[in-house]
Amino acid sequence: MPRRRSSSSTGSPTGNPAGGSTAPRNRTPQPVRVRRRTVGDFVKAFLAFLALLVLLIGVPLALATQIGWPLPHGVPSLDWLQQEITVQTFLSILTVVVWLAWAQFTACVLVEMKAALSGVGVPGRVPGAGPSQLLARQLVAALLLVGATAASLTPGLSQLGHGLEGNQKGTVAAAQQTPGGLFGQQREQAANTAAAVAEQAASAAAQAEAKQGDTKYYRIQPPEGRHHDSLWEIAQRHLGDGRRYKEIYQLNKDRVQPDGSRLSEASLIRPGWIMEMPADAHGGELVEMPDGAPNVSEQVRQQIHDYAKTGDHAQGGGDHAQGGGHQQGGSHASVPAQRPAPDAGQDRQRHAGDSATAATPASSGRSFGLPEALLGAPLLAAGLLGALGHRRRQALWQSALGAVGGRRGMEPPTPTGDALDVQDALLVGADPEGVRRLDRSLRALAAALAAESRPLPVVYAAWLTGGDLHLQLAQPAGKPPAPWRTGQDETFWVLARADAEQYEETETAAPYPGLVSLGTMDDSRLLLNLEAVPGIVSLSGRASDRAAVFASVAAELATNGWSDRMTVTLVGFGQDLTPLAPSRLRHLDGIEALLETMEAETRQRRGALGAAGHDSVLTGRTGPAQHTRWAPHLVLLAAQPAAEDARRLAELAADASRLGIGYLVGTESDELPGAAWEMEITSEGRLLAPLLGLELDAQMLPSAEQQAVVELFVEADPESGPDGPAPTPPFLVDISEQGRPAVYARLVGPYEIIGLDTPDDERSALLHEALALLLLHREGVHPRVLSSALWPRGVTDDVRDALVERLRSWLGTGPDGTPRLGTDDTGRLTLAKSVVSDLDVLRSLYHEATQGKGADSRAVRGRLLTDALVVVRGPLLADRPEGRYRWLTHEIVDAQLPLIVADIGLALSSFHLEKDRAEKAIEALDAALRTAPADERLWNELLRATHATGDTARLQALAADLVGRGGARGLPPRTEALLDELLPAWRSAVAAAG
């Protein structure tokens, strides 16, 4: 499907009236409020200094002078242990405890001070020093607050101590050349830094205006720490609006840089490159002009001079971009497309049908009659489709075993209307292979790190680009284990698709179950790790748009294939999503119930981590209790909390990432108290987070699709099915002599077609597979479902349409000239009633025997059941070639057919045993077992029929055969109990035979 593109930076502010379209809504830059230091700040700093002085120096001095050394000066003898315990003994013990507490607090102060002054990373955790380290953190923060201009206390004092001067350098830290390059940095830091640079720009405005006619250039600065220059930050500093980065990009696109390379993507820039700037750029020495920058070296001056000669080819684009600069208040420019940088030699020509990296349509419209929201969400669709198939199989098995009274359930309800459209969209959009690769890759990484005794790194996000997996780490974690490699910097670990496909199943816990898809940026799909966010993630926007994002997140978390155990708590959801995964999802009535629940769980998790000696749940997931503890708890609060409730949530979320708890909270305003990361969903379906460097085509599940998805799961619920006789099959055939079909396909067993000539070209296999799919779906098959089944990696519409025409020609027409392959009112392909499969005959015979004429006539029932069993020649499509018919994994017919055959065998056996025809009963059961060899009911009935023959040796041989089939697992309890009844000495007989 075509990928949506952002509007040009030079587009009309209000859209194109002629075209009838409107440009995406802009986010108007808001003035940043700079917090000035007050007298209270100085008082707090002074008091913090006094407190630290007393605790760090006063306490040890008092202990040394007033009490002295509490421990013995020599090695104590055994007589020392027998001395009487006096008050002095207790004082000495108490003194040792105070010394240890002082040492621990001193270590906390040193750790916090080092993190604050270095400005790198999150402060280390001193073992067992939670309250002490919190106190040390608050005192250090208060002390250093008067000298910090961009400090942030979430997740720690990672930037404390950076003065104003450092933030005004030309090498100011900018967003990394990565997706979400500001993950882990906080809004206050970015806002204060922008304000400082804005003041600097204002002081140089007069000089910039005086030289308005000169061409201005900027030289990309080298990295400072973990931060890199980006076009967004350059535009923010020197044009006043980061969204004008596209103007810089257009001015410099494809021009030869000093190192010989060219700018081809806005997110991929290198230190030392030269950028021509729009005419209204400002910023003093950061914007370098060849004739007006005395501080520029001769080498750089020459590079700029040479670079200026390459601008002729882009003159038109440059004028265009500059013209747009005067409309910045109304033009729209997206956030830089920051994402994993591809390898220089990476083949960017991806297959057209690679659904794992297809762009997500933002609208809730329909494509070819199917919901686009699910067509463009391959991981969500795969999870829903897998969970739906599991639910339907569960219903079949429970019905077969009599768990649901009176309901046979052999024919699940056929969806109609919106539910059918959604089911087709799931079949088309799902990428189960992509889910399998992601799951195996993450588990294999955890196993490899555990083998090297290395902890799991904190992962903020994962990006899927062309099948390659990029993990974005919170901080560098060393060299990744092979075949993983370091990406564009040390905070990226990359696994190529070819390497991921080599992984097998790994017996280890899911390391990052909190990953959930948010949307796409160009060819990359973002999965945010909700449980790793250092605080609350807020989502603003219209209520309906927020609800669609929340529903998508909840549905994927409930059904994804890369998680084990998980709890997802939903508050403020209009649609009850519990039917999707009752074991994972739970709805709470309101914010009070949520706060009460989460306060208790936060306390419990903190205590459990401390007792286990783990610093975070990531450490626990690699230990021996990995499958039973440390499962994530993700909270989705769709309704905006009140101010006091938001404050309590923020307190709970302050340490949530360490505990494996994540919070996504909706808000009607732009800001939510305590929010660490802020996102906005626009009416055009764009998910914006400028401070995180993100602008995505959002993954959404609108209200209509939510209802249809829930309907599919409710209909598949074994507990909600109707009692009484089984529902009528969707397609019954005339089983009389007059009902001979024109085309008869044998699917139950080896594939065979009677009534058609076999195509002699290379498309014969495709035609046979397409016909099998249509025969298994008599309600009709959407053309897009057909193409995605035959060509999982995608195919063009003309190829699909050509195959449909060949299939129509092959099937021919009926006596009245009507094609046997038609199209119904919804555009789905349907087969004429004269095209029949043996599965249709089998269902019709069974239905007629149990609910038709056979229900009232014993003789008719016996004949129909016997005819039905004759139709069965083995498993479904027993000789299907390797690599084809993969769509059967999404079907339940593979589970349905053995149950139908087993029911027929059991019914026919009972029919014969009523007349004491044990051998006939055994013959019927043996025939059914060839298709349903794992059905316990058939083996138990075979034991009864064999016992009815009176041949004890034969019964003992059958018991020995069953024991051999059971292997190490042994016999099922019901079978053992039956053998105890029919053959009390079976254990000793089997042991003697063995």
Q: Helix/strand/coil (H, E, C) string of 247-308? A: HHHHHHECCECCCCCEECCCCCCCCCCEEEECCCCCCHHHCECCCCCCCCCHHHHHHHHHHH
pLDDT in tens, 65-105: 777 766 666 555 556 555 666 777 777 778 888 888 888 88
Read off the pLDDT of each residue in 357-374 and give the average, rounded to a whole number. 56
Q: Would you state the pLDDT for residue 629?
A: 59
* Nearest in space to 370 (alpha carbons), one of 717, 805, 1: 1
> Residue 197 — pLDDT band, cuts 50, 70, 90?
very low
Q: Would you state the pLDDT for residue 700?
A: 94
Read off the pLDDT of each residue in 901-923 and give the average, rounded to a whole number. 91
Read off the pLDDT of each residue in 685-712 and give the average, rounded to a whole number. 89
Q: For residue 269, how far is the Cα from the chain centroid? A: 29
**Around Cβ 206, how many Cβ atoms within 10 Å?**
9
How far apart, in Å, are the Cα atoms of 843 and each of 223, 504, 900?
Answer: 70, 39, 8
Burial class (CB in 10 A: 0-12, 13-18, 19+), 231: buried
Task: Return all residues near 931 (Cβ < 8 A) that are at least 6 apart.
Answer: 748, 872, 874, 875, 897, 898, 901
What percentage of residues in the chain have a pLDDT greater than 70? 73
What's the helix, strand, coil split of the chain in %, to 5?
45, 10, 40
Q: Would you state the pLDDT for residue 341?
A: 55
Kindly report the backbone phi and psi dihedral angles of residue 530, in degrees, each rounded to the nearest multiple of 5, phi listed first.
-60, -35
Least confident among 127-136, 199-208, 325-334, 801-810: 325-334
* Nearest in space to 189 (alpha carbons), one of 119, 236, 113, 284: 119
pLDDT in tens, 125-141: 677 677 777 788 778 77
How far apart, in Å, are the Cα atoms of 972 and each of 366, 587, 935, 963?
Answer: 49, 37, 11, 10
Q: Which residue has the higher pLDDT, 986 or 844?
A: 844
Least confident among 20-34, 546-560, 781-795: 20-34
Query: Up-side HSE of residue 14: CA atoms within 13 Å toward CB?
Result: 2
Read off the pLDDT of each residue in 360-376 and give the average, rounded to a whole number. 63
Q: Would you state the pLDDT for residue 831?
A: 94
> Residue 170 — pLDDT band, cuts 50, 70, 90?
very low
Is the pLDDT at 360 greater than 80? The verdict is no
Q: Which residue has the higher pLDDT, 78 or 170?
A: 78
Is the pLDDT at 684 greater than 80? The verdict is yes
Q: Which residue has the higher pLDDT, 250 or 346?
A: 250
C-alpha dihedral (857, 861, 862, 863), degrees to nearest 10: 100
Read off the pLDDT of each residue in 538-563 and give the average, rounded to a whole number. 92
C-alpha dihedral (617, 620, 625, 627), degrees to nearest 10: 50
Burial class (CB in 10 A: 0-12, 13-18, 19+), 85: exposed
Q: Would you state the pLDDT for residue 698?
A: 93
pLDDT in tens, 413-432: 788 888 889 998 999 989 99
- Average pLDDT over the chain, rounded to whole? 76
Q: Which residue has the higher pLDDT, 581 or 269?
A: 581
Q: Would you state the pLDDT for residue 368?
A: 56
* Nearest in space to 532 (alpha carbons), one of 448, 610, 616: 616
pLDDT in tens, 212-257: 446 788 888 776 654 567 787 788 788 888 778 888 888 888 888 8
User: In terms of pTM, does the model score above 0.85?
Assistant: no
Q: Would you state the pLDDT for residue 55?
A: 83
**Residue type at 797 in one-letter notation:** D
Is the pLDDT at 13 greater than 50? The verdict is no
Give the DSSP H/E element, type plus range, for residue 527. Answer: strand 524-529
Least confident among 107-116, 258-267, 513-522, 981-990: 258-267
Is the pLDDT at 527 greater than 90? The verdict is yes
d(CA 592, CA 644): 11
> Residue 922 — pLDDT band, cuts 50, 70, 90?
very high
d(CA 665, CA 654): 14
SS3 of residue 184 by DSSP: coil
* Nearest in space to 117 (alpha carbons), one of 146, 142, 138, 148: 148
Is the pLDDT at 740 greater than 90? The verdict is no
> Residue 486 — pLDDT band, cuts 50, 70, 90?
very high
Task: Return all residues near 723 (Cβ < 8 A) that are at least 6 apart.
Answer: 404, 405, 406, 407
Query: Contact at 8 Å (CB) between 231 and 188?
Result: no
Least confident among 218-227, 334-343, 449-458, 950-959: 334-343
d(CA 220, CA 673): 36
Give the DSSP H/E element, type plus range, for residue 617. Answer: helix 617-621
Query: Contact at 8 Å (CB) between 159 and 152?
Result: yes
Task: Return all residues near 792 (Cβ < 8 A) that are at least 6 apart.
Answer: 353, 433, 886, 887
Place of tokens 């998805």: 709
Q: Would you state the pLDDT for residue 177?
A: 38
**Around Cβ 579, how many Cβ atoms within 10 Å?**
19
Task: Return all residues near 854 (Cβ < 8 A) that are at least 6 apart.
Answer: 848, 860, 861, 864, 865
How far apart, in Å, are the Cα atoms of 640 and each of 379, 509, 534, 571?
Answer: 28, 34, 20, 10
Is the pLDDT at 318 greater than 60? The verdict is no
Helices (H) and strands (E) in the chain, counts: 34, 23
Least confident among 91-105, 325-339, 482-496, 934-948: 325-339
Read off the pLDDT of each residue in 110-114 and give the average, rounded to a whole number. 79
* DSSP-derived secondary structure letter, 474: S
d(CA 193, CA 726): 69
Q: Would you state the pLDDT for residue 905?
A: 92
* Nearest in space to 248 (alpha carbons), one of 301, 195, 320: 320
> Residue 690 — pLDDT band, cuts 50, 70, 90?
confident
Is the pLDDT at 267 greater than 80? The verdict is no
Q: Would you state the pLDDT for residue 479?
A: 93
Least confident among 148-152, 381-385, 446-450, 651-655: 148-152
| Highest mean pLDDT out of 1-15, 750-764, 922-936 | 922-936
pLDDT in tens, 47-70: 888 888 888 888 888 877 777 766
Read off the pLDDT of each residue in 795-803 and give the average, rounded to a whole number. 89
Is the pLDDT at 533 greater than 90? The verdict is no
> Residue 919 — pLDDT band, cuts 50, 70, 90?
very high
Here the tokens at position 309 are 């000669």
Query: Contact at 8 Å (CB) between 341 and 268?
Result: yes
Q: Would you state the pLDDT for residue 549?
A: 95
Between strands 468-473 and 675-681, the pairing is: unpaired
pLDDT in tens, 857-902: 999 999 999 999 999 988 899 888 888 898 988 888 888 888 889 9
